[in-house]
Amino acid sequence: MKRVEKKTSRAERKARRPDEILVAAFEVFAAKGYAATRVEDVAARLGITKGTIYFYFPTKEVLFQETFRHASTSYTDLSTAIGSLRGSTADRIRALLLISYESTANDRKTGELLRLSLAEGIRFPEAVDCYHGRFITPTLAALAALIEQGVKSGEFCQHAAACARDVLASSIFQVAVWRLMFADRTPVDSKALLEAHIDLVMSGLVQRSEPRY
Amino acid sequence: MKRVEKKTSRAERKARRPDEILVAAFEVFAAKGYAATRVEDVAARLGITKGTIYFYFPTKEVLFQETFRHASTSYTDLSTAIGSLRGSTADRIRALLLISYESTANDRKTGELLRLSLAEGIRFPEAVDCYHGRFITPTLAALAALIEQGVKSGEFCQHAAACARDVLASSIFQVAVWRLMFADRTPVDSKALLEAHIDLVMSGLVQRSEPRY
Amino acid sequence: MKRVEKKTSRAERKARRPDEILVAAFEVFAAKGYAATRVEDVAARLGITKGTIYFYFPTKEVLFQETFRHASTSYTDLSTAIGSLRGSTADRIRALLLISYESTANDRKTGELLRLSLAEGIRFPEAVDCYHGRFITPTLAALAALIEQGVKSGEFCQHAAACARDVLASSIFQVAVWRLMFADRTPVDSKALLEAHIDLVMSGLVQRSEPRY
Amino acid sequence: MKRVEKKTSRAERKARRPDEILVAAFEVFAAKGYAATRVEDVAARLGITKGTIYFYFPTKEVLFQETFRHASTSYTDLSTAIGSLRGSTADRIRALLLISYESTANDRKTGELLRLSLAEGIRFPEAVDCYHGRFITPTLAALAALIEQGVKSGEFCQHAAACARDVLASSIFQVAVWRLMFADRTPVDSKALLEAHIDLVMSGLVQRSEPRY
DNA sequence: CATGAATGAGATTTCATTCAT
DNA sequence: CATGAATGAAATCTCATTCAT
């Protein structure tokens, strides 16, 4: 019977439509920016027509905002990740930053969100808010929490820890910006760069008044 | 008398027009992005009409490219700056990064160029090339030169120096991205952030007289 | 009831639109030439808007080319006409030229195509090719075929027949040009002119073995 | 001294300017048509600027009309030519048509005037009037005069002569149209075509009292 | 006289949005 | 629900025309 073969029923399909649209829209918006993206481009990517998109989203502007929100949501939840980390505080920070990196490296979405935030931030402040709330705040909070632990445990020197949070976070931005700008022309070993960054910062962060080991 | 008041003759005006246009165009392009900028916006900012802009630049696309190039050109020349730096290598690196920071902080142009590079890089690869050539390459070269001096003089440990260049450079990106995104909402003390970054990295970079391990 | 009155469904309308546009466009292009025709003029003639035209044709240039091609296509097919002609070869040639004349006289299209070919030929060489292929080549071929028959049957003298084809064809051009230039100012009896032309040429063409007078 | 070398004084140059402009304008108008011709194109061809053209001609429209008039004026004066013709009436007609042909063949101007008349005739009826008055009317008059002489002298048969004028004239149009359309693609031996045309028409025109063959 | 910078009206073209089917 | 023909506002670009120099 037909029904058996058909894996996605009409109802299922319908339920997924908005998400499908948001996914497709994200790709186009990320690649071309808001103004240069045509609603039809998004539709074409799904093999549907403009009209269908307008059935789910009232305007292009709303489509953009929902798209941005949707794309931000799927970001790996750091607060759960942080609980499962093991090892010294330094190891856990390193692991945390690598998790961020991986999520960026795998689906590029995080990087593209950064691009969109920067590119469209002036016209869509909510997008920046969203990016900030979903990505930056949790990352900074997680880092801050880990650093505090390190200070308490004596691993980190109090003084350096004060602004270590932002400095560590910058490693993520560095890699993201690097990839956005030179993606296809100057391939960079992002992971090595990230780890070097972490190493250098860490070595300035660890307590050193006496022999370390 | 009219004549007396008129400070700019027609000839003078003409000679300055292209530059005036490029300056105005940069502001609008930086604020709205390529696609959302209307040629008329640029004209209005100068109190002239579209036609005048098309008299000097054949298309909006060319206007953008020239604008980008023009804005990139005025970036503080690091190779001259580097010669006038004094003090220890660490001091000179610090000074160099602060120069970059100042140029960004004062006219925002550097930051906006970064924004445009990221936002329009896909459609205007030459813009990225330009930004790369004018800004990133000289900065990295200057840093690399200084680091090498530090290694030779024994100030920096060989091992850490290997990737210090990129890590130091990331401080600039961090500040720039931060300012671009949160300019008016979460004012950041960029200078403090930058100096903290440098401090941390430096402390991981300097040669330490006793064994680390 | 609305439904009853509406003779043309949306689907029917859509199917006819391209042709409707091409017909309207031909009239305007023929009357004003390519450059002086505004796309809006064509739209207005159909009671639609510019946008609709651009929905079917990507540019004004393509619209012109398609229009020309479309207008050329409907020209009376001479190769079928030639088969149904009766009488002496001279009679059949006369009939053939009159068929050409009638098609010109009735819808003016042939004449206007000539005007467009001449007027826009430099910018649209394909238009000339098209006119040549659809109109001139078949006419000349048909005439040549008939003349050859006349020579074989002994009706025409070999010598004169050599270039009779072009000379007979010129009668068509003469009438067409005449009508194009003086259409509304010096009305000419085109038919009489054409027949006189044919008579004169024919009398030079026919084999005469005995005194005419 | 400079003056000696300078062949054209400023005054001379000034006096020729309008004519120079009209000559250049004709070439551009003929090649591109009225609407597609920019005033600047005409200026560029003379190495001067738009402003100068506007000094001599108030609008582009006037420039076109003057240009057309000017180009028509230089047409070989047939009424003087006709007096100097010798030989039989048939010979003189042949010679007259060849004179027309030569003037066309040499400077192409006559052909281009025809093109412009047809292309712009609807918007510039005066251009057609001008072409008619300067070219067609004299040609037809000259032909009619010669034909009448031929009839009086018994060379031509009365009957055929009635419309011989237009038929003979058509040979000129045929050649002109042919050259305009196929100038560079299907080079035609215009002169042979013209002479064949004349031969055929003449042989239908001449009085024949005895067997031709 | 000649120049050419500047204007502004108007033409081509694009595209978000609507709505009858 | 989905479609896609149609709209119309707006953007890019052109060019005849003007006028200060």
pLDDT of B38 reads 96
* Cα-trace Rg, chain B: 21
Find out whether B123 and A32 touch, Cβ atoms under 8 Å: yes
Q: Give the confidence band of D43 by pLDDT, cuts at 50, 70, 90.
A: very high
Reported confidence tier of residue C40, pLDDT bands at 50, 70, 90:
very high
Q: How far apart are CA C190 and CA C179, in angstroms?
A: 8
CA–C1' distance D52–E21 (Å)?
60
Do residues A131 and A30 lie in contact, with contact meaning Cβ atoms separated by under 8 Å?
no
The whole-number pLDDT of residue B18 equals 93
Q: How many whole angstroms from its chain centre is CA D59?
A: 26
If DSSP states are collapsed to H, E and C, what string results for A32-84?
Answer: HCCCCCCHHHHHHHHCCCHHHHHHHCCCHHHHHHHHHHHHHHCCCCHHHHHHC
Question: What six digits make up the tokens of A187?
Answer: 């391939």
- The reported pLDDT for the residue numbered D33 is 92
Alpha-carbon dihedral A172, A169, B33, B13, rounded to 10 degrees: -120
Average pLDDT for C5-22:
74
Provide the token pair at B60.
């909006």
Q: What is the pLDDT of residue C176?
A: 83
Residue holding tokens 């997924």? A16
Q: What is the pLDDT of residue C158?
A: 81
pLDDT for position C160: 74
DSSP-derived secondary structure letter, A206? B
The fold for domain C77-205 equals Tetracycline Repressor; domain 2 (1.10.357)
Residue type, A174: Q
A158 touches chain B (CB under 8 A): no
Structure tokens at C196: 């006189």
pLDDT at A74 over 90: no
What's the confidence (pLDDT) of residue C210? 43
What is the C-alpha to C-alpha distance for residues A152 and B209, in angstroms, rounded to an integer?
A: 27
Residue C51 CB closer than 7 angstroms to strand F? Answer: yes
CB contact under 8 A, D118 and C119: yes
CA D24 – CA D40 distance, rounded (Å): 11
Smallest CA–C1' separation from A49, nucleotide: F3
Answer yes or no: are the C-beta atoms of A197 and B162 closer than 8 Å: no
* Rounded distance between C-alpha atoms, residue A76 and residue A97, angstroms: 12
pLDDT score, position D158: 81
- CA of C67 vs C1' of E8, distance in Å? 33
Strand F: which residues 65-104 of B lie within 7 A (CB)?
Answer: none
pLDDT of residue D77: 67
Mean of the per-residue pLDDT values of chain C:
83
Of D180, D146, D171, the closest CA to residue D78 belongs to: D146
- List CB contacts (< 8 A) between A131 and chain B: 181
Q: Which of A125, A181, A193 sits opposite B128 (nearest CB)?
A: A181
Query: Is the confidence at residue B187, as pLDDT, over 70?
Result: no
Helix (H) or strand (E) holding B103: helix B89-107
Instruction: State yes or no: pLDDT of B210 exceeds 70.
Output: no
CATH number listed for the domain at residues D76-205:
1.10.357
Between residues 17 and 76 of chain A, which touch chain B (CB distance below 8 Å)?
Answer: 31-36
pLDDT digits (tens, 9 = 90+) for D176-213: 888 888 766 666 778 888 888 888 888 777 765 443 43
Which pLDDT score is estimated for B27?
Answer: 94
Residue C58, CA: closest nucleotide via C1'?
Answer: E13
Structure confidence at residue A52 as a pLDDT band (50, 70, 90): very high
The rounded distance, in Å, linking the Cα atoms of C100 and C96 is 6
To the nearest whole number, what is the mean pLDDT of chain B?
83
The pLDDT, as a whole number, for residue B35 is: 93
> Residue A212: is its pLDDT beyond 60?
no
Average pLDDT over residues C22-50: 94
pLDDT tens, position by position, A77-96: 667 777 788 888 888 998 98
Specify which residue's alpha carbon is closest to the C1' of nucleotide F9. Answer: C51
Q: Is the CB of A14 under 7 A from strand F?
A: yes
pLDDT at A21 over 80: yes
D169 band by pLDDT with thresholds 50, 70 and 90: confident
pLDDT at A86: 83
Q: Does B191 touch chain A (CB under 8 A)?
A: no
Closest CA to A146 of A132, A164, A159: A164
- Does the structure show a pLDDT above 80 at B183? no
Q: How far apart are the C-alpha atoms of D63 and D21, rounded to whole Å?
A: 9
Region B178-202: mean pLDDT is 79
Q: Which residue is nearest to nucleotide F18 (CA to C1')?
A: D51
CA distance D69 to chain C (A): 17
Q: Is residue C213 over pLDDT 50?
A: no
Q: Mean of the pLDDT values across residues D20-25?
A: 95
Residue B48 dihedral angles phi and psi, to the nearest 5°: -120, -170
pLDDT of the residue at D75 = 60
- Mean pLDDT along residues B3-13: 57
Q: Which residue type sits at C5?
A: E
| Angle at the Cα of C124 from the Cα atoms of C121 and C130, rounded to 5 degrees | 80
How many CB atoms neighbour CB B21 within 10 A? 24
B54: nearest nucleotide, CA–C1' criterion: F13
C125 vs D contacts (CB less than 8 Å): 185
Asked if the Cβ of residue A52 lies within 7 A of any atom of strand F, the reply is yes
Whether residue C5 has pLDDT greater than 50 = no
CA–CA separation, C163 vs A208, rounded Å?
A: 109
Res. A57: pLDDT tops 80 = yes
Please report the sign of the dihedral spanned by the C-alpha atoms of residue C186, residue C191, residue C194, residue C196.
Answer: negative
User: Which of B170, B173, B206, B209 is best to mutate for the A interface (most A CBs within 10 A)?
Assistant: B170
Q: Is the CB of A18 under 7 A from strand F?
A: no
Tens digit of each residue's pLDDT (9 = 90 or more) over A149-201: 888 998 888 877 778 888 888 888 888 888 888 766 666 778 888 888 888 88
Q: How far is CA C210 from CA B189, C153, C155, C203, C207, in A?
A: 116, 17, 13, 14, 9
What is the distance in angstroms between the Cα of D189 and the nearest Cα belonging to chain C?
Answer: 12
Give per-residue pLDDT as tens, B31-90: 899 999 999 999 999 999 999 999 999 999 999 999 999 998 866 667 777 778 888 888
Around Cβ A22, how many Cβ atoms within 10 Å? 20
Percent of chain D whose predicted confidence (pLDDT) is above 70: 83
User: For residue A54, what pLDDT is reported?
Assistant: 96
Q: What is the pLDDT of residues B106-116, one digit of tens each?
A: 777 888 898 89
Partner chains of D (3+ C-beta pairs under 8 Å): C
Q: Do the beta carbons of residue B171 and residue B190 sit within 8 Å?
A: no
Cβ proximity of C34 and C124 under 8 Å: yes
Contact positions of strand F to protein Cβ (< 7 A): 1-21
Among candidates A32, A114, A203 on the partner chain, residue whose Cβ is nearest the Cβ of B122: A32
pLDDT top residue among D206 and A64? A64
Tell me the C-alpha distance between D25 and D124, whole Å.
16
Domain with CATH 1.10.357.10 in chain C: 2-71
Name which of B166, B164, B152, B170 is nearest B205 in CA terms: B164
Task: Note the CATH number of domain B2-71.
Answer: 1.10.357.10
Q: Quote the pLDDT of residue B184.
A: 67
pLDDT digits over C107-164, tens only? Answer: 778 888 888 998 998 899 899 999 888 888 888 888 898 999 888 988 888 877 778 8
DSSP secondary structure letter of residue A123: T
pLDDT for position D133: 87
- Whether A182 has its CB under 8 Å from any CB of chain B: the answer is yes
- B-chain residues near A111 (CB < 8 A): none
Closest partner residue to A204 among B117, B166, B200, by Cβ?
Answer: B200
pLDDT for residue C20: 94
Q: For Cα atoms B98, B101, B106, give the angle at the middle one, nearest 5 degrees.
A: 125
Name the residue among C196, C204, C208 with its Cβ closest to that of D213.
C208
Backbone phi, then psi, for A206, in 5-degree steps?
A: -70, 150
State pLDDT tens for residues D62-75. 999 999 999 988 66
Inter-axis angle of helices D164-182 and D109-120, to 10 degrees? 90
Half-sphere exposure of D28 (CA within 13 A, CB side): 23
- Cβ–Cβ contact D93 with C under 8 A: no
Q: Which fold has domain B78-205?
A: Tetracycline Repressor; domain 2 (1.10.357)
| pLDDT range class, residue C206, cuts 50, 70, 90 | confident
Whole-angstrom distance, CA of residue B68 vs CA of residue B30:
10
Average pLDDT of chain D to the nearest whole number: 82
Q: What SS3 string covers chain D?
A: CHHHHCCCCHHHHHHHHHHHHHHHHHHHHHHHCCCCCCHHHHHHHHCCCHHHHHHHCCCHHHHHHHHHHHHHHCCCCHHHHHHCCCCCHHHHHHHHHHHHHHHHHHHCHHHHHHHHHHHHCCCCHHHHHHHHHHHHHHHHHHHHHHHHHHHHCCCECHHHHCCHHHHHHHHHHHHHHHHHHHCCCCCCCHHHHHHHHHHHHHHHHECCCCCCC
Range name among A118-132, C174-188, D151-165 with the lowest pLDDT average: C174-188
Q: What pLDDT score was predicted for residue B88?
A: 87
State the pLDDT at residue D184. Answer: 67
pLDDT at B103 over 70: yes
For residue B185, pLDDT beyond 80: no
- The residue type found at C122 is I
Higher-confidence position of C178 and B41: B41
Task: Tell me the residues of chain B between 110 and 139 that have a Cβ less than 8 Å away from chain A.
Answer: 114-115, 117-123, 125, 128, 131-132
pLDDT for A2 beyond 70: no
Per-residue model confidence (pLDDT) at position D173: 81
Q: What is the pLDDT of residue C100?
A: 82
| Predicted confidence (pLDDT) at residue D143 exceeds the cutoff of 80 | yes
Q: Which residue is nearest to nucleotide E1 (CA to C1')?
A: D52
CB atoms inside a 10 Å sphere around CB B97? 23
Tell me which amino acid residue B35 is.
A
Burial of D8 from C-beta contacts in 10 A (0-12 / 13-18 / 19+): exposed
pLDDT digits (tens, 9 = 90+) for B14-26: 778 899 999 999 9
B108: tokens are 């925002």
- Calculate the alpha carbon distances from A182 to A33, A174, B125 in Å: 17, 12, 10
pLDDT of C1 reads 38
Please tell me the distance from the alpha carbon of residue D184 to that of residue D95, in angstroms, as a whole number: 27
Rounded CA gap, A124 and A53, in Å?
A: 20
